[in-house]
Structure 1
Amino acid sequence: MGFIVKLLLTGVAAMLAAYILPGVQIDGFVTALILALVLAVLNAIVRPILIFLTIPVTILTLGLFLLVINALIILLADYLVAGFDVDGFIWALIFSLVMSVIGAILDLIF
């Protein structure tokens, strides 16, 4: 049950972040839920591989390269989910930051 609630909160966070940012478009809430599911799968499978492959760069940048990995995950989700559009790398980076902040606030509330 907790996974479904987490998906719903991530979908709401994605909708709010897309509403705030002009460089990100989501067609509707169903698309946001699909995006949340795709992001969960990508974060479970692809993100650990990318983190392992980029350990030296991550250490060299004191962990800031993880923001780049988050933006790459968002761009990959943009490619996979119809109805979700990000205008570029910078918007993906900003979207991941805004969505993380909104998700943290929603987690505190619920």
Structure 2
Amino acid sequence: MAVLLPDIMETLQDVNTDVKMKALVFLRNMMAHMKMEEASLIALQLAEKLLPLFDDESSQVRELSISLFKDVMKTVRERSKKKMKKTVQRVLLPLFIRMNDQIKSVAKVQ
């Protein structure tokens, strides 16, 4: 599965909403079944890929990407927290803006 990970993360940039949704669901399921050490390493890469999805035209993609980001944050281990801190600082403003999203489920997921 680790071999497919870069390709799946790249599909998050796809223009097709269905493709992005399937990739997000796959990544969520994959992260849930990984050991914490593996998930922590992937979390750093994945967090960067999720940020552009917070502004996606699809409310479902926005909601799922924000929810997955929240889950990813929980998997980061101590030694990776410093690296993740910079990403989180960059994400806080877009997340704050999303708290006022017109779609209640997107605003609520935070």
Q: TM-score, normalised by structure 1?
A: 0.32
* Relative contact order, higher structure (CA 8 A, sep 6+): 1
